[in-house]
């Protein structure tokens, strides 16, 4: 058997097209042009690449890209002050402070300053609290991209056994909470999990967000499982996921790396920005 390929590039293009149409309708109905403020502190090369793509995609979809470059020498108070100004700026509907911040800056404290109504990354304490409470709110982008892929491919979620590997605040924990909200029975594994293979073999749905190339091999996967590989690992042979390619021999469906979850993150960021604009500036 060869697993069906879950095509994140195609789904992300669909999501972006839907957001572009919805942005146009929102503006035609009298809404303001949605604005996404990106804040890049310092000169981490990977962060530059990410922010550049976020800016390009927002412009393509009719969302204003309002960018702020901040020198690595900026103080905590300066960065937090910028966030406060963006909170108060009515042309800004979404605020994205690119992680990681340079050493010496307290990233959590900066995130905590972001107005939850503009928290399009979904990573502030209030947004994460709303996720735990099951209240409406902006959800983290990569995790909601994972759920969007499962829904688009009509993977049955209710009652399914979902196993997530990785418990970061960025990916693993929110993915687990979103799967729980979708009525999966969720197991969350991490580096101290006693019998990882044993846990994984019980999974109908397996989500890997680990950061270890090829860690999940076919002997750890139940025949017919749906496997979502969030991992993006730079190796001498190029980008690799956390899931070994041999898993395609047993899984029923699998996301490729690249071209799986990766493209979904920016697409979901765009949807969050539109949703934020809609709730900040409701049209009649």
**Per the residue annotation, which of 7, 22, 98, 204 is the catalytic one?**
98
Binding characters for ligand NDP, 10-49, by CB under 6 A (x = yes): ----------------------------------------
Contact partners, residue 140, CB within 8 Å, separation at least 6 = 121, 122, 123, 127, 128, 131, 170, 171, 174
If one asks whether residue 232 binds ligand NDP (CB under 6 A), the answer comes out as: yes
Cβ-based nearer residue to ligand NDP, 217 or 233? 233
If one asks whether residue 165 binds ligand NDP (CB under 6 A), the answer comes out as: yes
Question: Quick one: which segment of 14-22, 27-35, 90-98, 261-269 binds ligand NDP (CB under 6 A)?
Answer: 261-269
If DSSP codes are grouped into helix, strand and coil, which group holds residue 65? Answer: strand
Among 34, 137, 140, 262, binds ligand NDP (CB under 6 A): 262
> Any catalytic annotation for residue 229?
no
Q: Could you give the count of Cα atoms lying within 13 Å of 152 in the half-sphere of its Cβ?
A: 22
The Cα–Cα gap between 207 and 282 comes to: 36
106: nearest Cα among 65, 135, 77: 77
> Any catalytic annotation for residue 76?
no
Kindly state the number of chain residues that form the binding site for ligand NDP, as judged by CB under 6 A.
Answer: 26
272: nearest Cα among 167, 129, 164, 127: 127
| Number of separate helices (H) and strands (E) present in the chain | 9, 11
Among 38, 58, 127, 265, binds ligand NDP (CB under 6 A): 265
For CA atoms 148, 150, 155, 161, give the dihedral sign.
Answer: negative
Phi, psi of 235 (to 5 degrees): -125, 165
If one asks whether residue 101 binds ligand NDP (CB under 6 A), the answer comes out as: no
If one asks whether residue 261 binds ligand NDP (CB under 6 A), the answer comes out as: yes
**Per the residue annotation, which of 54, 118, 204, 242 is the catalytic one?**
54
CB of residue 274 to ligand NDP, shortest distance in Å: 19
**Per the residue annotation, which of 22, 121, 229, 242 is the catalytic one?**
121
Among 210, 243, 270, 274, binds ligand NDP (CB under 6 A): 210
If DSSP codes are grouped into helix, strand and coil, which group holds residue 97? Answer: strand
The Cα–Cα gap between 62 and 135 comes to: 29
If one asks whether residue 184 binds ligand NDP (CB under 6 A), the answer comes out as: no
Q: What residue ranges bind ligand NDP (CB under 6 A)? A: 142, 165-168, 170-172, 189-193, 196, 209-212, 215, 230-233, 261-262, 265
**Which residues form the catalytic set?**
54, 98, 121
């Amino acid at each position: 058997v060869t697993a069906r390929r879950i095509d994140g590039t195609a789904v992300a293009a669909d999501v972006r097209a839907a957001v572009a149409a919805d942005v146009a309708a929102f503006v035609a109905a009298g809404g303001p042009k949605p604005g996404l403020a990106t804040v890049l502190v310092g000169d981490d090369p990977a962060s530059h690449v990410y922010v550049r793509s976020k800016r390009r995609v927002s412009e393509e979809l009719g969302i204003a890209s309002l960018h702020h470059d901040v020198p690595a020498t900026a103080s905590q108070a300066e960065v937090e002050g910028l966030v406060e100004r963006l909170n108060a700026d009515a042309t800004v509907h979404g605020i994205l402070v690119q992680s990681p911040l340079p050493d010496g800056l307290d990233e959590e404290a900066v995130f905590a300053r972001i107005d939850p109504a503009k928290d399009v990354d979904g990573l502030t304490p209030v947004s994460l609290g709303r996720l735990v409470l099951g209240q409406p709110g902006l959800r983290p982008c990569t995790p909601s991209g994972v759920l969007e892929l499962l829904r688009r491919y009509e993977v049955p979620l209710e009652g399914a056994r979902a196993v997530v590997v990785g418990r970061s605040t960025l990916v693993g924990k929110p993915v687990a909470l979103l799967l729980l909200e979708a009525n999966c029975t969720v197991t969350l594994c991490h580096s101290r999990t006693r019998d990882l293979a044993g846990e994984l073999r019980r999974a109908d749905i397996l989500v890997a967000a680990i950061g270890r190339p090829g860690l999940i091999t076919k002997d750890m996967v139940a025949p017919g499982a749906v496997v979502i590989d969030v991992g993006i690992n730079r190796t001498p042979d190029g980008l690799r996921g956390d899931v070994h390619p041999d898993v395609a021999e047993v899984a029923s469906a699998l996301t490729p790396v690249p071209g799986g979850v990766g493209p979904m993150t920016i697409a979901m960021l765009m949807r969050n920005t539109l949703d934020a604009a809609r709730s900040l500036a409701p049209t009649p």
